[in-house]
Amino acid sequence: MSQELMEPVQEVLDKLRPFLIRDGGDCELVDVEDGIVKLRLLGACGTCPSSTITLKAGIERALLEEVPGIVEVEQVF
């Protein structure tokens, strides 16, 4: 686990969380390894057909822009 990236990643996720919660979902930071953020989508986000778009277009884009060293976001189950 890459501790130096965990805190800034969590800060970005905390900013995005109200939008996920508004739609009945949430996300959990599982790990950051070699610039890859591993997230578990929760609630409505876990079963939503648009969750891949949320993950890639929303969460991944924000993390790539705001946290140097992040290269990708992966969904884990």
The first and second tokens of residue 26, run together, are: 């949430």
Closest CA to 48 of 13, 75, 12: 75
Higher-confidence position of 64 and 46? 64
Contact between 9 and 63 (Cβ < 8 Å): yes
Predicted pLDDT of residue 2: 66
CATH number at residue 66: 3.30.300.130
| Total domains in the fold of the chain | 1
Amino acid letter, residue 10: Q
Range of the domain at 28: 3-75
- Tell me the average pLDDT across 54-67: 93
Q: What is the pLDDT of residues 23-56, one digit of tens each?
A: 899 999 999 999 999 999 999 888 888 888 888 8
Predicted pLDDT of residue 52: 85
Distances (CA, A) of 57 to 3, 14, 65: 25, 17, 12
- Mean pLDDT of the residues in the chain: 92
